[in-house]
Amino acid sequence: MAARVVELRSEEELREAFPVVRRLHGALDERRYEELLSMMVPNGYRMFAVREPSGRWPPCSGCKF
């Protein structure tokens, strides 16, 4: 099975992405990350990741539509 791009939709998936997001925003703590998501997601923010067959998470990307 090849790697595929997936949208992270559940709270659990978004929490799993935190270590990757923290690499880009070193001062961000998990509590603040969850606060930001609670404001951004209802306003159209979406996050995507490449899911490898092993389940590993390479870098992900977020955007607002």
Does residue 60 carry a pLDDT above 90?
Answer: no
> How many structural domains are present in the chain?
1
Summarised one tens digit per residue, pLDDT across range 27-52 is 999 999 999 999 999 999 998 888 87
**CA dist 34 → 12, 52, 53, 61, 63 (Å):** 11, 24, 27, 16, 16
pTM of the model: 0.76
Domain of 46 in residue numbering reads as: 4-64
Residue 59 clears pLDDT 70, i.e. is over it: no
Residue 53 has pLDDT above 90, yes or no: no
Percent of the chain with pLDDT over 70: 82
